[in-house]
Structure 1
Amino acid sequence: MNRRTVLSGAILGATAAAASGSATAKEAHMPKAKGRTGPRNLITDVAGIRIGQAHDANARTGVTVILAETPAVAAVDVRGGGPAGRETDVLKAENLVQEVDAIVLSGGSVYGLAAADGIAAWMGMRGRGYGMGGGAGVPPSPIVPSACLYDLANGGDKQWGMDTPYRRLAVEALESASDAFVLGTAGAGFGAQAGSLKGGTGSASAVTDDGWTVGAIAAVNSVGSVTAPDSRQFWAAPFEIGSEFGGLGTDQLSAAHEDWGRAKFAPRPRENTTIAVVATDVALSRVECQRMAIMAQDGLSRAVRPAHAPFDGDTVFVLSTGKIKLEDGPARNIAVSRLGNIAADVLARAIARGVYEATAYDGSADKTWKGLA
């Protein structure tokens, strides 16, 4: 069986999503969100960001690389009780390095942390990374923070011994990086499970009236449910643009405070995580990126119920590619507030799209969102 499958092809776009909507979707009682996406409705609508993905179908796991074409200012906010991450401390505002070269999202729990090794080696060979000086032959140090989700118990072959696939998959993903990529059962979300539904990788974008772009990508492996109990409607439905995840509206969005709907049964620590990256083309400082990351975490709460539980490893990175400059002064805080709120909405949409586009593994009976119809 081929253990080295690299994802390629065009995105499953909003047009296909609209075509799959039912008459009920077209007659939903509540109005949809008003807003404008970028041309792809992907995080790559943010200038300077590319995405690469690869998976191992036999092991049922994968890697997503978020590549900054030039070093980008970054921050991270961790809210889950069981995170698995690397190089997150380097993103603290008081520390030396202010920019990153890439961010890696991966399956594999602690084994998946090796994915960043592959990216660092690949970049270091090509002279990219933070340099402290030194003589000839001294390589730079690429800054590659990462976060991983738990997909070890999804039925894939994890008997890899000393040769885990993550370093290799990360390099394959990086070398395939482009503006277009597949959603659903792909990349870091290949082996994911969102509550009792098949999880996946989702992405979305938004463009403001003054031309700012915010995009998000998420690998959704949550303990919580992304849909309301006894309904196919996504919790993120109030923020849906067009019919990007089915267009079913909001009229059935309600639940008792102890009703988790399609959450996982008997969740266990470190086995459930939504990991995500939000990016913007607006030039922000490290501290401003940190505030945007904090605000973006609300997107998880808008899309998943419950979120940030002891069982989760919820982690959100923010990247600023710095293409659009802001003037200094009081208006900057208003701008950051706007960006943070948009980031939360875009992340909620990306989470829903990841589950909406997810497909079952070959020969499996996994429950998918589209299979609920």
Structure 2
Amino acid sequence: LADRPGVPPSPVVPAAILFDLANGGDKAWGEDPPYRELGRRACAGAGPDFDLGTAGAGYGAAAGGLKGGTGSASLLSADGAVGALVCVNSWGSVTAPDGRTFWAAPFEIDGEFGGLPLDGLRAGPGQWGPSKAPPPAGARQNTTIACVATDVALTPAQARRLAVMAQDGLARAIRPVHAPFDGDVVFALSTARRPLVGGDAALARLGALAADTLARAVARGVFEATAWPDAPPGEGPPAWRDRR
């Protein structure tokens, strides 16, 4: 908001969560829940390197019938850099009915999520792969939350368009997606380190690349995920890498 003497700034911060309060454990926090301190630790630990898979906000996630997780991917182009960060907790499946081939396989770069041939990338009507069972009516227990970023300076309207186009990356990597059981969202941001050169045509190319990059990030999050280390045998969704 506008800077006024003596008036503290009031930041408007968009936010989204992966709900995991029903995952067991002692939740008797009283009047001092741990989230404030967890948020401070997350900010203090932010940096260019971070773990993928069963880590961070994706630790307790499940992607369809597989272990979900935190994924990331990036791409450099003549128009600018694009990066994506996602936590995959989807109702739909990230793999074809064979249970191994990622829907995002056509966009894979350098075998980043297994390098499997595209032979298994096929499905008939209603064949979605290992998705979750439908939850109770009205329940939204599934969420895929993503952020796409670029180093190109964007106006608020252009950033919104980048997010709109990047949202298609979820449709390329998860099937079905945006179901009544999902609460998916994609945020967009810019470091504004370089100008947008080429107007709407360049923005369109960046949006298309953002969608491809987000699809790759979804697959990487599941590819890198491992089973919960403290889960009893047979409990929790299986990890992709454990299915043969």
Normalised by the size of structure 2, how large is the TM-score? Answer: 0.92
Structure 1 residue 258, shift from structure 2 partner:
1.5
Equivalent position to 2:15, from 140, 146, 152: 146
CA distance in structure 2 between the partners assigned to 1:221 and 1:157 by the alignment: 23
Unaligned runs of 5+ in 1: 1-129
CA distance in structure 1 between the partners assigned to 2:162 and 2:45 by the alignment: 29
Structure 1 residue 363, shift from structure 2 partner:
3.1
1:239–1:348 CA contact under 8 A, matched in 2: yes
CA distance in structure 1 between the partners assigned to 2:181 and 2:149 by the alignment: 26
Equivalent position to 2:42, from 173, 196, 201: 173
Equivalent position to 1:187, from 56, 62, 74: 56
2:79–2:202 CA contact under 8 A, matched in 1: no
- For residue 362 of structure 1, what is the amino acid of its counterpart? P
- In 2 relative to 1, CA 336–211 (structure 1 residues): closer, same or farther, beyond 3 Å? closer
CA shift digits 1:130-157 (9 cap, x unpaired): 553122xx43223321111222333444
Structure 1 residue 168, shift from structure 2 partner:
1.3
Q: Note if 1:313 corresponds to 2:180.
A: no
- In 2 relative to 1, CA 158–247 (structure 1 residues): closer, same or farther, beyond 3 Å? farther
After superposition, the CA RMSD in angstroms is 1.6
CA distance in structure 2 between the partners assigned to 1:177 and 1:285 by the alignment: 26
Match for residue 267 of structure 1? 135
Structure 1 residue 324, shift from structure 2 partner:
1.0
- In 2 relative to 1, CA 166–334 (structure 1 residues): closer, same or farther, beyond 3 Å? same
CA shift digits 1:184-210 (9 cap, x unpaired): 1111111111111111110000001x2
CA distance in structure 1 between the partners assigned to 2:27 and 2:109 by the alignment: 39
- For residue 205 of structure 2, what is the amino acid of its counterpart? R
Match for residue 371 of structure 1? 242
1:283-294 → structure 2 map (5 Å cutoff): 283-294=153-164
Secondary structure, counterpart of 1:293 in structure 2 = helix
1:233–1:253 CA contact under 8 A, matched in 2: yes
Equivalent position to 2:202, from 310, 325, 335: 335
Structure 1 residue 227, shift from structure 2 partner:
0.5
- For residue 172 of structure 2, what is the amino acid of its counterpart? R
Equivalent position to 1:205, from 64, 74, 95: 74
- For residue 324 of structure 1, what is the amino acid of its counterpart? R
Equivalent position to 1:302, from 172, 177, 184: 172
1:300–1:348 CA contact under 8 A, matched in 2: yes
CA distance in structure 1 between the partners assigned to 2:175 and 2:192 by the alignment: 34
1:54-93 → structure 2 map (5 Å cutoff): none
Structure 1 residue 181, shift from structure 2 partner:
0.6
Match for residue 110 of structure 1? none
The sequence identity of aligned pairs, in percent, is 59
CA distance in structure 1 between the partners assigned to 2:29 and 2:58 by the alignment: 20
1:94-113 → structure 2 map (5 Å cutoff): none
Secondary structure, counterpart of 2:219 in structure 1 = helix
1:270–1:311 CA contact under 8 A, matched in 2: yes
Match for residue 115 of structure 2? 247
Match for residue 213 of structure 2? 346
CA distance in structure 1 between the partners assigned to 2:101 and 2:27 by the alignment: 34
1:150–1:270 CA contact under 8 A, matched in 2: no
CA distance in structure 2 between the partners assigned to 1:192 and 1:159 by the alignment: 22
2:79–2:206 CA contact under 8 A, matched in 1: no
1:204–1:217 CA contact under 8 A, matched in 2: yes
- For residue 296 of structure 1, what is the amino acid of its counterpart? A
Structure 1 residue 161, shift from structure 2 partner:
4.1
CA distance in structure 1 between the partners assigned to 2:151 and 2:166 by the alignment: 16
Match for residue 91 of structure 2? 223
Match for residue 361 of structure 1? 228
Secondary structure, counterpart of 2:10 in structure 1 = coil
Normalised by the size of structure 1, how large is the TM-score? Answer: 0.61
- In 2 relative to 1, CA 200–157 (structure 1 residues): closer, same or farther, beyond 3 Å? farther
